[in-house]
Structure 1
Amino acid sequence: MPEAIGKHQLKSSFKPTQTIRPLYTGGKVDISPDENLLITTVGDSIEVTDLQNGNKVLHLSGDTELITTFAVTPDGNHIVTSSRSLVIKIWDFKTGQIKKSFKAHEAPIIVMDIDPTSSLVATGSADSTVKVWDIEGGFCTHNFRGHGGIISALKFHLENNQWTLISGADDCNIRVWDLQDRKCVAVLKSHVSIIRGLDMSSDGRFLISGSRDKVVNIWDFDKKILLKTFPIFETIETLGVLRPNTKINNMDEDFEGELFYTGGDKGIIRIWDIQTGKLIQTQEPEKNTKHIISDIMFVTFRLSLYLRKSNVLTAVTSDQNILFYQITSGLKRVKQIVGHNDEIIDLAYVGKDETHLAIATNTEQINLYNIKSFDFNIIYGHTDIVICLDKSYDGTVLISGSKDHTARIWSIDVDNENFDNRVNCLSICIGHTAAIGTVALSKKSLKFCLTGSQDRTIKYWDLSHLDRSKSDENFRPKALYTNKAHDKDINSIAVAPNDKIFATGSQDKTVKIWSVDDGKLLGICSGHKRGVWSVQFSPVDQTIVTSSGDKTIKIWSTTDFSCLKTFEGHTNTVLKALFLTSGTQLMSCGSDGLLKLWTIKSNECIATLDNHTEKIWALTSRKDENVVASGGADSLINLWEDCTTEEMEKRVKEEEEQILKEQDLANYLLKKDYKNAITLAMSLNQPFRLLNLFKEILDNRAEGDTSITGSESIDNIITNLSKEDIEQILKYIRDWNTNAKHFRTAQTILNAILKTFSSEELLEINDIKEVGLLIEILSSIYLKVVFTMYLMETFISLTNLVIRWFAALYRKTLSTIRSNDYRFISR
């Protein structure tokens, strides 16, 4: 039972309660017809996620080859996928089972489209062919050849029972295929680059095509002629037509035309008039973004009432984020989903109730994740990778340091209904000449912040004039002092709980203690043999904890700067360590991918947590210390919840049940209820008591009793044993037989088992095949009988049994060799 110190019970066990995994790693994204589910590609698999709460609904496992594209039928019954293995799979959307699987093309499939009736799927491949497949039957209905390059766009069109398929390729041509006549009826030539988008107007009169040649063409679909060309001044990656009579800002009330949208290398959504080519609406660019828009989904034609009212365009960006923009509000971002967190560098709990995690993910953005719901905020501002984070005492202010040589201070209001006002940049700290590797905010009030840089200096920034009520990127805090702190990169800064001193850790293997007021050096802690990666103050004592590349954790006094304790256990660099349980315990993480829980008083590692596959860079805890968050190079974020109390209650309950079973066993033995006694002794794993029970029965055999074990009831019990129980008893017999005093009892029980069960039945027991358990028992008993000449009849009987068993094993071995089961014969 965990030891209690004062009022604080030591923690002894943590369990992973939530893991934030990659949701999208590139490729196709779609939304289910009812708009409740998000379908994404994750490597060689498809993930189906609930858009409201982020729960995984379905996982479609791949064939180890990357998914190239997929499509969902309009009726929502099937998902059609293709991978680099050149195989098409048709899945049942409700059960996740494969209904059809077949090879489709000679090269990977690049694009797909499904007709409005959910009966046909068209596939365009890198082999320059277009094929049409029956979804229910899984057979090819059409095979079109004519393009001179990779197929890059497909669109079904059904009008007046006339089935048409339109395709675009990197030969810059658009072809129109008649499905009834099975031939190409038109080749549309005008673009000078790969075709990236095709769509039809709602009345079927116009075909809209977009290309990387930065123009959109409007074609008369009946006459198959070019009507208009609109310059877009952007490499187009996707386009589509909005539903008729869609109203947006800055539009005339009497407008009755149609609109189309485009997205491309500028990373913004723009809406255009299909008649005049006039730009109607432009999304406001995200600050300092470098992404391009690879796909846009217009979901308002679906059945979902919420999205129908919202008129949402969903953009998929090249940095693997999924952004939702509301058309009627001027293309404002209303929701965002981070598809893939890159290497997790740092974490911080933010918000008044610590309901959100701020995540630095080896990119220019900071991801703000709502732990309770499937909600993200992407914080734009930095122009280079964000390296470090820290939060204020109340969780409403965040500071970030970046490779762009700046630190930014953000106000965090996670409960603000206005999406744009949840995160605002309050100020920018400019002055370092190299990347900022560590930052820290004051602990008692928002009076100052500290930054440490690869320029080997620390700066103290005055925040006393910071206005937390408004966003002002032009506000520049003053650096009241700058000190050259270390001889190598500064990896960590920590501020004491009283805001009077702070500590820095560096690659120069030292930890230094400084005065906050004037930046005066107070002392140096020397002892680590490699660089120091993290520093943290104890919440109660005048000590700090440090972690190092020398695989150790050390606790130092901040009064005389001596090393008080050293903890060893990690097999690689310890990247972070923090205090838990009011300073009586430590949690650490390292390059070995493990988290370790330590008790300071005993220097003991009492738990090792393993749910990462690579080095763990980030480690943070909530104020109540009941949940610890870790993030690493494997792109995973694990939330570990303290389950010490649960484990204690479970252990107490098990002990109580054990005591009750022990009492029951004693009662059964007293009543000579051997059946229940044997069953209970086996469940309690008490072979010695079981041996004594069998020995007592055998010694008290009644005169004239013809049973094997000395009791007919015991013989019947052995007859009804399960395979698992037989396996367990055979292991007991093997152990009993090592003692000459017990071999008679062991022989007797074994004899009962051998006479009750056939060799074929016993060979089905796992341990007999893999461990050779029965051979060991038979060999041991055989030798004992030979040397003691105990009962010639038993000797002859066992000899015959040995011969019979070796014959059965010989037959089994031959069968195993034929089936190449080398695991069996290797023993």
Structure 2
Amino acid sequence: MAPPPERLKANYNVSVKLEPFFTGGKVQVNKDGEFLLCQCGDRIHVIDTKYGKTIRSLVQEEDEVITFAIGLDDETLVSSHKSGLLRHWNWKDGSVVRTWKSLHLTPVIEIVFDTTTTLVASGGTDGSLKIWDIRRQYCTHNLKGGSGVYSIIKFHPDPKMSMIFGASMDCKIRCWDLKTSKILGVLEGHFSAVTGFTIFTNLNQAVSSGRDKVLIHWDLKTYSQLRIIPTYECTESLVPIEFGEPMPMLNVTDVNNPHVISAGERGVLRIWNVKNGTEVFTQTDSLVSQPIVEGAPTITQIEYNKVSDHLYVITFDHNIIVHQTKDLALVKQYAGYNDDILDIAWFGEGETHLAVATNSIHVKVYDIETMNCTLLKGHTDLVLALATSKSDFSILVTSSKDNSVRVWKMSQSPFEISCIAQGNAHTGSVGSVALSRSKLSFLVSGSQDTCLKIWKLTPIQVEGNQNLSVLHTVVAHDKDINAVCISPNDNLIASGSQDKLAKIWSSSDLKLLGVLRGHRRGLWAVQFSPADQILASGSTDGNIMLWSLIDYSCLKTLEGHESSVLRIHFVSKGYQLVSAASDGLIKLWTIKTSECVATMDAHQSKVWALAVKSDDSLLVSGAGDSALILWKDVTKEEREAAVQEKEKRILEEQQLANLMQKGLLLEALGLAIHLDQPFRTLNILKELMDQGESALTDLEKMVVKLSTNQKDSLLRYSTTWNTNSRHCHQAQMVLNILLANHTPEELFSLPSMKSAIAGLLMYNERHMQRLSRLRLNTAILPYTAAKIQATRSDEVMETN
């Protein structure tokens, strides 16, 4: 029996699109901590820290950003570009104030402001350091002495001390006097690139960090070393702790000595008492993952915001982790770049969160309302698949390239996600998992080792990390298993593989019940219908096949995708199907008619992940373009809008009929054009032509006042009328009015003008030829009549 039309979905529209906002480079927090500014490819994104959304982008086409800096006035931003230009922006409205040449021979990789936001220093890879007055717009200093790339530039925090420090490739930190442009002193001690430099004004001392695995404490009066502190790691960033402020939770109690926070290779925050050279605190609960390349920095930058008292930790995998400074408690996490999104699952009671698997060993869990991101640590290799169950959305199952599956539980008060069980029995990457649907009693996994396993889920024990036990194992396919799913009643299991087959298994003992043959290439998706005894499968051959679970025959094939079908889900209680493919398209199908009723195009790459909310109100998709998109069901809104539009049109058509009956032709003409009724428009014009010159004068005034869209419609009508000799007079009249009252620029602003010209010229030539023939014929008739009359006169005279 066919479903009622109101049950079927008509369309989904983009509700939220979460795109990459940080792909590496510099991150800076504005003065009040409300916005993050991050480099992302060729632009700078301004991020709302409350919701993690991009509110503005600073971009100059075809000119990639290298670095940037915000002034202390919290409005001025200067960026350096690959073209060698420097740009002064007002980042709050996205406008470019001024652009000028950097005068460096090579790109500028370091920019910093002084405390007054009057001077900005630029350091290039050519060994020169230039200082600019951005208010008076000229270069004030060209400081020389360094060699190669500048890694650190810093003005003295005290504006009375006209000094600037710069560290270049020779690992020396030079101090220049801005009044004389001379070098006051050189801090020598590092043997590798200097990565951090902070000044304690009240002590006239400084601390520097480098990749040579030491911190050096300096006396700025004598430019000599006070202490070398070994860190045993490559340090990438350094932040001072405000002098005189105790932090007992971080073991900072000696307020008379300077302290700094360092971060780098190990991926943890460390606090040092600089005077004593001792490490007073080491972070033990860091969320930073270790890079695959040994020795690469895990933390690339740390930023401190005084107003919010937050510490921003920027990691190598483009995550931004926010801590409360006083105790390093986690405040928030942002995922700046997701890489390829491999799988998605709704998570949490009420489906309030999204679990996302990317090219990462961490699972990212997003809060739908705030888009706050939580990282789940546990797997040691890339996470490949996720699964939740309608019976309990607080449980999440993940599988990974580390050959394991893990079970996670979310608790709301307080909010916490913990790993409660794990299983390690596969000998290959686990590419697919599924949870039992009617009751959480087991889970199924399919692996690259071609095995299908059923794992027992015991009543969840929150304490401890249990090991999952395997109930049944079977060598299910000849090649990798890409997809598994469980039937709504938990009695059947389906698997899909690269061997082009889908198979049906009994969940009680993994007995093979049926083999589904028909796809020409490997399978990526299988899904049971929630209502009928039907299984859907999607394949690399671009087809979606629907199979009977009674005789395992193919019922129908849905053709429409031009590339691999990677994900499928039933919606509308099984009457419809949503599919995602490697062409970046998501399609909505009505199964009874085999019709594709909607195609959703918002991704730029393969759509690897697709999840549907239990009430079908939201879809979420993820792709190789790193975009995470929430799609909202707009069927009801579109139907209501269609009904309202129909009612409105009926009223307008009745109004048009009334105007015609009353003889108000000019008002009727405007309404007929609005309703897109060319035939009625033509009839009105004919009647106006019959009324004489005064009506045509009023018509000309009325046409001039029409909107651009209405004039364009009238032009399109005239182009069509002009092809018929019976209506060409009205077409020529309209064209005459348009040509006489508009400039060429105004005419070519009409969308249809360029396409109309060719047709108008061809038929106008025909009309002119016909008129010429008509004029010739009208001239021949009087001439012939005159000749006949003259001949008759001659004959009469001869007769007489």
Q: For 2:251 and 2:687, locate their aligned partners in 1 and report how far apart those are by CA, in whole Å.
A: 97
Displacement of 1:744: 3.7
1:560 aligns with 2:551: yes
Q: For 2:315 and 2:739, locate their aligned partners in 1 and report how far apart those are by CA, in whole Å.
A: 69
Decide whether the 8 Å contact of 1:286 with 1:380 is kept in 2.
no
1:470 aligns with 2:463: yes
Q: Does the residue aligned with 2:574 lie in a helix, a strand or coil? A: coil
Task: Output aligned runs, 1:417-496, within 5 Å.
Answer: 417=414, 422-464=416-458, 466-467=460-461, 469-472=462-465, 475-496=466-487
Residue 27 of structure 1: aligned partner = 25
Residue 818 of structure 1: aligned partner = none
Q: Does the residue aligned with 1:653 lie in a helix, a strand or coil? A: helix
Q: Does the residue aligned with 1:289 lie in a helix, a strand or coil? A: coil
Residue 218 of structure 1: aligned partner = 217
1:653 aligns with 2:653: no
Residue 323 of structure 1: aligned partner = 321
Residue 630 of structure 1: aligned partner = 621
- Higher mean alpha-carbon deviation, 314-323 vs 158-167, is at 158-167
Q: Of 311, 315, 338, which aligns to 2:335?
A: 338
TM-aligned CA distance change 1:790 to 1:438, over 3 Å: farther
Q: How far does the alpha carbon of each residue in 1:608-664 deviate from its partner, in whole angstroms, 9 at most, with x for none? A: 000001110001110111100011111111111100110011111111111111111
Q: For 1:332 and 1:600, locate their aligned partners in 2 and report how far apart those are by CA, in whole Å.
A: 51
Q: Of 9, 12, 24, which aligns to 1:11?
A: 9
1:66 aligns with 2:64: yes
Q: Of 713, 717, 727, which aligns to 1:732?
A: 717
Q: Does the residue aligned with 1:550 lie in a helix, a strand or coil? A: coil
Q: Of 337, 344, 347, which aligns to 2:344?
A: 347
Decide whether the 8 Å contact of 1:618 with 1:630 is kept in 2.
yes
Decide whether the 8 Å contact of 2:612 with 2:619 is kept in 1.
yes
Aligned-partner residue type, residue 151 of structure 1: Y
Q: For 1:350 and 1:760, locate their aligned partners in 2 and report how far apart those are by CA, in whole Å.
A: 56
Decide whether the 8 Å contact of 1:345 with 1:617 is kept in 2.
yes
Q: For 2:20 and 2:749, locate their aligned partners in 1 and report how far apart those are by CA, in whole Å.
A: 42
TM-aligned CA distance change 1:222 to 1:338, over 3 Å: same
Q: Of 679, 690, 694, which aligns to 1:688?
A: 679
Decide whether the 8 Å contact of 2:444 with 2:484 is kept in 1.
yes
1:775 aligns with 2:761: yes
Decide whether the 8 Å contact of 1:110 with 1:151 is kept in 2.
yes
TM-aligned CA distance change 1:33 to 1:611, over 3 Å: same
Aligned-partner residue type, residue 91 of structure 2: F
Aligned-partner residue type, residue 261 of structure 2: Y
Aligned-partner residue type, residue 268 of structure 2: I
Decide whether the 8 Å contact of 2:719 with 2:756 is kept in 1.
no
Q: Does the residue aligned with 2:380 lie in a helix, a strand or coil? A: coil
Q: For 1:279 and 1:344, locate their aligned partners in 2 and report how far apart those are by CA, in whole Å.
A: 39
Aligned-partner residue type, residue 274 of structure 1: V
Q: For 1:754 and 1:135, locate their aligned partners in 2 and report how far apart those are by CA, in whole Å.
A: 51
Displacement of 1:355: 1.3
Q: For 2:159 and 2:338, locate their aligned partners in 1 and report how far apart those are by CA, in whole Å.
A: 47
Q: Of 505, 508, 511, which aligns to 1:520?
A: 511
TM-score (norm 1): 0.89
1:360 aligns with 2:357: yes
Residue 821 of structure 1: aligned partner = none
Q: For 2:64 and 2:82, locate their aligned partners in 1 and report how far apart those are by CA, in whole Å.
A: 6
Residue 812 of structure 1: aligned partner = none
Q: Does the residue aligned with 2:680 lie in a helix, a strand or coil? A: helix
Decide whether the 8 Å contact of 1:218 with 1:226 is kept in 2.
yes
Q: How far does the alpha carbon of each residue in 1:421-446 deviate from its partner, in whole angstroms, 9 at most, with x for none? A: x1111111101111001111111222
Displacement of 1:755: 5.6
Q: How far does the alpha carbon of each residue in 1:151-183 deviate from its partner, in whole angstroms, 9 at most, with x for none? A: 101111044712110111221111001111111
TM-aligned CA distance change 1:288 to 1:491, over 3 Å: farther
Q: For 1:759 and 1:539, locate their aligned partners in 2 and report how far apart those are by CA, in whole Å.
A: 62
1:669 aligns with 2:660: yes
Displacement of 1:56: 2.5
Displacement of 1:745: 3.7
Q: For 1:736 and 1:288, locate their aligned partners in 2 and report how far apart those are by CA, in whole Å.
A: 70
1:598 aligns with 2:589: yes
Displacement of 1:135: 2.2
TM-aligned CA distance change 1:154 to 1:592, over 3 Å: same
Q: For 2:714 and 2:233, locate their aligned partners in 1 and report how far apart those are by CA, in whole Å.
A: 76
Q: Does the residue aligned with 2:454 lie in a helix, a strand or coil? A: strand
Q: For 1:753 and 1:594, locate their aligned partners in 2 and report how far apart those are by CA, in whole Å.
A: 43
Q: Does the residue aligned with 2:669 lie in a helix, a strand or coil? A: helix
Q: For 1:28 and 1:535, locate their aligned partners in 2 and report how far apart those are by CA, in whole Å.
A: 43
Decide whether the 8 Å contact of 2:527 with 2:568 is kept in 1.
yes
Decide whether the 8 Å contact of 2:37 with 2:44 is kept in 1.
yes
TM-aligned CA distance change 1:471 to 1:107, over 3 Å: farther
Q: For 1:765 and 1:489, locate their aligned partners in 2 and report how far apart those are by CA, in whole Å.
A: 57
Decide whether the 8 Å contact of 2:723 with 2:763 is kept in 1.
no
Decide whether the 8 Å contact of 1:8 with 1:582 is kept in 2.
no
Decide whether the 8 Å contact of 2:126 with 2:147 is kept in 1.
no
Q: For 2:277 and 2:64, locate their aligned partners in 1 and report how far apart those are by CA, in whole Å.
A: 38
Q: How far does the alpha carbon of each residue in 1:361-416 deviate from its partner, in whole angstroms, 9 at most, with x for none? A: 01111100111103110111111111100013321111111111111111122x33
TM-aligned CA distance change 1:725 to 1:324, over 3 Å: closer
TM-aligned CA distance change 1:792 to 1:691, over 3 Å: farther
Aligned-partner residue type, residue 456 of structure 2: D
Q: For 1:732 and 1:186, locate their aligned partners in 2 and report how far apart those are by CA, in whole Å.
A: 81
TM-aligned CA distance change 1:744 to 1:252, over 3 Å: closer
Q: For 1:118 and 1:222, locate their aligned partners in 2 and report how far apart those are by CA, in whole Å.
A: 26
TM-aligned CA distance change 1:712 to 1:143, over 3 Å: closer
TM-aligned CA distance change 1:776 to 1:768, over 3 Å: farther
Displacement of 1:529: 0.9
Q: Does the residue aligned with 2:249 lie in a helix, a strand or coil? A: coil
Q: Does the residue aligned with 1:440 lie in a helix, a strand or coil? A: strand
Task: Output aligned runs, 1:58-457, within 5 Å.
Answer: 58-104=56-102, 105-159=104-158, 161-244=160-243, 245-249=245-249, 251=251, 253=253, 255-286=255-286, 289-291=289-291, 292-299=298-305, 302=306, 304=307, 307-308=308-309, 312-329=310-327, 331-393=328-390, 394-413=392-411, 415-417=412-414, 422-457=416-451
Q: For 1:666 and 1:601, locate their aligned partners in 2 and report how far apart those are by CA, in whole Å.
A: 42
Q: For 1:791 and 1:51, locate their aligned partners in 2 and report how far apart those are by CA, in whole Å.
A: 82
Q: Does the residue aligned with 2:641 lie in a helix, a strand or coil? A: helix
Decide whether the 8 Å contact of 1:500 with 1:517 is kept in 2.
yes
Decide whether the 8 Å contact of 2:21 with 2:337 is kept in 1.
yes
Aligned-partner residue type, residue 779 of structure 1: E
Q: Does the residue aligned with 1:249 lie in a helix, a strand or coil? A: helix
Decide whether the 8 Å contact of 2:587 with 2:598 is kept in 1.
yes
Displacement of 1:62: 3.0
Decide whether the 8 Å contact of 1:674 with 1:714 is kept in 2.
no
Decide whether the 8 Å contact of 1:46 with 1:62 is kept in 2.
no
Decide whether the 8 Å contact of 1:629 with 1:639 is kept in 2.
yes
Q: For 1:476 and 1:760, locate their aligned partners in 2 and report how far apart those are by CA, in whole Å.
A: 75
TM-aligned CA distance change 1:615 to 1:282, over 3 Å: same
Between the two proteins, the alignment pairs up a number of residues equal to 769
Displacement of 1:717: 2.9
Residue 798 of structure 2: aligned partner = none
TM-aligned CA distance change 1:760 to 1:288, over 3 Å: closer
Aligned-partner residue type, residue 315 of structure 2: T
Residue 793 of structure 2: aligned partner = none
Aligned-partner residue type, residue 436 of structure 1: V
Decide whether the 8 Å contact of 1:28 with 1:41 is kept in 2.
yes
TM-aligned CA distance change 1:741 to 1:39, over 3 Å: same
Q: For 2:715 and 2:23, locate their aligned partners in 1 and report how far apart those are by CA, in whole Å.
A: 52
Displacement of 1:735: 1.6
